Amino acid sequence: MVRHHTNLQEELEEFLLPRLRSGRIGTDTAVVQGFDRTVEASLGMLRGDNLGRMPVRTGG
C-alpha cells in the first residue's frame, strides 16, 4: 500500500513528475460515453477492466 511508503514520496516525485510533464510516461484513460453507462463503468473499475482513469463523459 502506498501509505506504507510515504518516506519514498520525494524520491518518486523527483523521478516521475519530469517524465509525466515531458510525455515520456503517459497515463491510461478509458473514457465511457453516456450517463446511462455510469454503473457499467463503476463495475468495470472494480473488476479491473481499466489500467488508469475511467471518466464517464456525460455531455456533448
Q: Tens digits of per-residue pLDDT, 4-50?
A: 999 999 999 999 999 989 989 877 788 889 999 999 888 988 888 88
**What cell does 55 get?**
471518466
In the prediction, which pLDDT does 26 show?
78
> What is the rounded distance in angstroms from the CA atom of residue 23 to the CA atom of residue 59?
28
Domain residue limits, the chain? 2-57
State residue 25's pLDDT score: 84
Please compute Rg for the chain using Cα positions: 16
Within a 10 A sphere around the Cβ of 1, how many other Cβ atoms?
4
Q: Which helix (H) or strand (E) element contains residue 40?
A: helix 38-47
pLDDT confidence of residue 7: 95
Please tell me the predicted confidence (pLDDT) of residue 60. 64
